[in-house]
Structure 1
Amino acid sequence: MTPLVHAEQAVLGALFLDPSQLDRLDTWLHPEHFSRPAHSALYAAMLKLQADEHPATTAPVGGPVPLAWITDTLQEASTQARGLTPSYPHLLISACPRPDHAPVYGRMVLEGAIHRSVAQHAARLHQAALADDRNGTVEETLHHAQLLSDVLTDLARAWGTEARPAQPAAAYAAQASPPQPVSEQGLAVEEFLLGCLASRPE
């Protein structure tokens, strides 16, 4: 089991133990950020019950959590994901080391979703570049490069900062040794890169 799955379990366990913490997550953590469909369904169910003013979400902080919170969440989530058993929420609760750290676990889930999104777009760009290389074209590569750039810009705007130029590390500085001869494949790759840059100077 990956650390990301542990984080998903921990945040859901924390919310089962203390549903009032939904107020600290609901504006920035969304069901689609979870990698497992069952976890996504459980979190979506919690948000729906919160919107419906379930007694557990309106109870005083630190008070006892009604058992109906678990059963109602499970019933609601079961309409979206199959195979959820009554014992699974208890497994999630036991996977939560610190219930008051729900925002920390939620941040881990969000970062995992960001990494997945970037990796998926990068993989599509790689596949498009391989296909264009075989076909002698650049259109699909440019399209997917623009999509990846847009995704990174949106992520930076929403969660981080704008990209800033950085000096390369000293290890990557030009070497004094004479350049090595380039293979035919290497020349083809260079020509492809120059063609892309000529087509899209930005």
Structure 2
Amino acid sequence: MDGTTATQSSIAAATRSGLVRVGDKWMYPEDEDTTNGSYEHRKRAREMEQTADKARQLTRVAEDYGAHHVADFLPVKVLDHFEERAAAARQGREAVQEEQYAEHRLDERNVGYRMLARQGWQTGTGLGIEQQGITAPIAASAHASNVQNAAGLGQHRPEALQDNEDEFSLYRKRMMLAYKYRPNPLNNPRRDYY
């Protein structure tokens, strides 16, 4: 076997084992130059810079009020909305999300609004010839990009309220909600866990 064939076989073996050639040395990709941190570290640092003010605010509130339990950080408005959704689920009805609609209400600047108005529609009336259609807006999912929303038939989100919830289950889901509002003294980037 000549030198060229031996070199080619050693290159092939090194490539199969995951090594890459950097200059005149063979290295594993994990051995990259990390003087300013790896890509993941730099990405995480950018996220932490973006959330630093919010983290300080959450931590300051926790210190000022002496809150210790995760439920202490749940805003009253969010808690009231959760309680309304829980009551609606127990009674077997759909929870009204008027406040979301009020915040994002369409007005004359919207093209769809103007198109419907030209066809005779007025705010607060239903669609159709006899105006018997629904008047409540169809709510968009807050987690539309979440993979679990497209998981398939029979799947549901873990924080979704059901009509057969017991007190423990409601408490657990309330704490899942409160977890989003907990203090953040180390400024760890927040991720949606569910």
Normalised to the residue count of structure 2, the TM-score between the two structures is 0.23
Ranked by relative contact order (alpha carbons within 8 Å, sequence separation 6 or more), the top structure is: 2
Max Rg structure: 2
In terms of fraction of residues, the more helix-rich structure is 1
